[in-house]
Amino acid sequence: MSGFNDFAIARALHVLAVLIWIGGVAFVTLVLIPACRGIAEAPAQLELFERLEQRFAAIARWSVLLAGLSGLWLVWRLGVWARFSDPAGWWWMHGMVAVWAIFALMLFVLEPFVLHKLFAQHARRDPVGTMARIQRVHGVLLTVSLAVVAGAVAGSHGGWHFG
């Protein structure tokens, strides 16, 4: 029986954090937003979305934080910093960092300090258009995230290296 395996624990935490985070983005994008948009009263759409999405925001913040910390630990533990100097061969590592940075910025800075107020202003003028914009942004974020996750899984197992 072997002892403590920090690498295995870090990898498991990383995968679980990404699963909860990106899975939550998928739920919000594919289920929550369309359900909110199905409500007849346009002003109530954004109110319901914000009320329900806020419940996930705290979970997403913790998941993004854990994914970042465990990812940093894995890069350090494996000694693979040099992969970042080869964007063609290891594009998915750049992708993981980029997606993480976008979500960290959104969850920790933009959403609480900028986007909440901005969407409220837009919703007063055009509630239907605001919900459509939220859905488009979430769709783009989900698509990019899933592409990077697929690339990371394939790349970490020897596939999807360009160059």
Residue-wise pLDDT tens digits, 111-149: 889 987 888 788 889 988 989 999 999 999 999 999 999
- In this prediction the pTM is 0.88
CA distances from 154 to 31, 41, 118 (A): 27, 44, 38
Residue-wise pLDDT tens digits, 33-90: 999 999 878 888 888 998 898 889 999 999 999 999 999 999 999 998 988 888 777 8
Residue 27 in this model has a pLDDT that exceeds 90: yes
CA 96 to centroid of chain Cα atoms: 10
